[in-house]
Amino acid sequence: LVLLTMNLKTYLGIYILFAVFQIYHNTEIPNCAFEDTVNLTNALQFDNGSYLYAYEGIVIPPDLVGVYDFEEIYDGRRLPVEPHLRGCICKGRNCIKFCCHPTKELITNMSRMCSENELKEELEYDPYLEVIYNNGSRLKTHAIRQFVVIQGVPCEGGYPLMPQEDEDDKWDIFENGTIYRHFDQSYISKRDYCLMPQNMSDGTWVLNPMNCPIPNEATLSNRINNIAMAISVPFIVLTIFVYLFIPELRNLHGKCLISYLTSLAVGYSVLSTITLSEVIFANFVCSSLGYIGYFSFMAAFFWLSVISFDLWQNFRITGPIRIGQRKRFIMYSTYAWGVPFCLTCIVMIIQNSDMDPYYKPGIGDDYCWLKTNDWSAMIYFFGINLIIILLDTAFFIMTLHKILIIQKEIKKVTMNDGGNDKSRNLRLHKNNVGLFLRLLLIMGITWLLDIFSYIENQLHPGVTNPLYYISDFMNAMTGLLIFICFVLKPKVLKLMKRRILGKEEPSENTESDYSDDEFALEDRGKNDALQFIN
């Protein structure tokens, strides 16, 4: 008897250990996708091991029950959770997936949670959907009565397809619960969407699928372009550091260049993050990145126009410039930061308005950046930048023309006293104009080619000239080119060495090509040079 009791205790212990192992060890159901299962944690268990799925009143046999320690959500991502029982309810049945209870709950704050507190009464809507059956027929089918309803929200930040308001949001549903999204011709399984009633502008409710944000997918050329942008950013940052580090470079044009490069670095960083990151951004984060990138790129273009204008103005004005450099920089900053800020606000207002989606900029819709598959980007981005580039080009042409006139007049008096000083002064300004002319060439030509590429893609969709891939890459390598032009110069390297070592050069050598004389004509120098024209 004692031996029998010991054996019973042993067997009981083994059974308990086995039961615990079954509960806490993952035993997935063979040949059953996670999307076809339901949680049976609080389900009624029968003596034969079957479970009752109370919501549908369906009994699930023990061979279709398993223990899971994860939850599979959008795009196959698995989230670790406490081990729990699940039953394969869709085996041999047609299931349809709702986000929450079909009539009593809604998603809370774009999360994966459901709450019935948002509803004062049960929802009333047309539950009939046009279902495409396996034989190809389309029949109006009651979504709740003729399908097994399962529940779950596949992701945060989901957005509804609303064909009632936007034709691009058309969708179909098949007998097996898969939906077909028209705008990108995608088949989406029950794992990656859920149905939820949507409140229309007239107060009625309609049943539409909630989609997850589409991952950022870029073509090979775009990925190469944005990788180059990411590589380019450190060189831009190094150039900014050099200009901040050397006092001789922190004059008016140096400050304008720093502002321009800062805008460019932020814009490139944001665009690279949007394109290269595989993270599915929440709607607010996605839109914020798009607006920051838009503001940064627009500010870069406006700062480039400031540099062009200031160089032209220095040669245009024949008398002393009465406004000091500090006040001029404040005026330039108000313009170069203020106008892009106003444009960004306008873009935000239009994007969140009831305007026809075709004319909206598209930031935060299907992508975090401007949509470039129609002409809207020409209105909000490329068109404005094209005008700025053309104006910059005009300023530089007029500046170079003025230099040629001054140079011609100075040659007539080089034999007089002071002629050498005037020639040296003009040479310094010519070097400065040449330096920023290279900046215009680096930015202007490549951006012009980008704009022409965009226009050609609109006129001839799907046809791309290989030349534009080269221009995209060159544009993305702007940081390296700027670093070479503005930092890897003998004078700048000499100033860096002197700054690091703390050495002072003899007085006769202290004049630098990067003094204020280079970046802006001093009143005396301008009067001396320009008096020969009058």
Instruction: List the CATH number of the domain containing 237.
Output: 1.20.1070.10
> Are residues 163 and 269 part of one domain?
no
Residue 81: CATH number of its domain: 2.30.160.11
Is the same domain home to 354 and 441?
yes
Q: Is residue 520 part of a domain?
A: no
Are 250 and 394 in a shared domain? yes
Helix or strand (DSSP H, E) at 231: helix 220-245
Residues 335 and 392 in one domain: yes
- Domain membership flag for residue 527: no
Tens of pLDDT, residues 148-195: 999 999 988 788 888 988 887 899 999 999 999 988 888 999 999 999
User: Is the residue at 42 inside a domain?
Assistant: yes
Of 139-143, 364-368, 404-408, where does mean pLDDT reach its minimum? 404-408
- pLDDT of 297 strictly over 90: yes
> What are the pLDDT digits (tens) for 414-424?
545 554 555 55
Do 203 and 297 fall into the same domain? no
Shared domain check, 309 and 205: no
State the pTM of this model: 0.64
Least Cα distance to 444 among 486, 488, 396, 403 occurs for 396
Return mean pLDDT, the chain: 79
DSSP class of 170: -
- pLDDT digits over 45-56, tens only? 998 989 999 878
Same structural domain, 396 and 496: yes
DSSP β-ladder status, 106-107 and 179-181: unpaired
- Are 115 and 84 in a shared domain? no
The pLDDT assigned to 347 comes to 95
Q: Which has the minimum average pLDDT: 78-92, 215-229, 333-347, 370-384? A: 215-229
Final residue before a domain boundary, out of 168, 185, 211: 211
Q: What is the CATH number of the domain that holds 100?
A: 2.170.180.11
The last residue of a domain, from among 42, 60, 88:
88
pLDDT score of 204: 86
Assign 354 a pLDDT band (cuts: 50, 70, 90): confident
pLDDT in tens, 448-460: 877 887 887 778 7
Q: How confident is the model at residue 514 (pLDDT cuts 50, 70, 90)?
A: very low
108-123: average pLDDT = 70
Q: pLDDT band at 516, cuts 50/70/90?
A: very low
d(CA 71, CA 31): 17
Are 372 and 488 in a shared domain? yes
Domain contains 512:
no
Instruction: Give, for 68, the enclosing helix (H) or strand (E).
Output: strand 65-72
- Per-residue model confidence (pLDDT) at position 21: 43
Number of domains the chain is built from: 3
Burial track 226-255 (b if 16+ CB lie within 10 A, e otherwise): bebbbebbebbbbbbebbeebebbebbbbb
Res. 202 pLDDT band, cuts 50 70 90:
confident
Average pLDDT over residues 218-240: 77
Question: Is the CB of residue 266 less than 8 Å from the CB of residue 296?
Answer: yes
| 491-505 average pLDDT score | 80
Give the domain extent around 40.
24-88
From residue 462, give the alpha-carbon distance in Å to each of 13, 46, 373, 375: 69, 61, 11, 15
Alpha helices by DSSP H, listed for 246-282, are 252-276
Asked whether residue 156 is assigned to any structural domain, the reply reads yes
pLDDT beyond 50 at 523 = no
Least confident interval from 393-402, 489-498, 506-515? 506-515
Q: What digits encode the pLDDT tens for the residues 385-403?
A: 999 999 988 888 888 787 7
Q: pLDDT class for 311, splitting at 50, 70, 90?
A: confident
pLDDT of residue 530: 35
203 with 294, same domain: the answer is no
Residue 296 has pLDDT above 60, yes or no: yes
Residue 514 covered by a domain: no
Asked if 281 and 399 sit in the same domain, the reply is yes
3-state secondary structure of 84: strand
Is 358 domain-assigned?
A: yes
Q: Are 199 and 227 part of one and the same domain?
A: no
- What pLDDT does 520 receive? 36
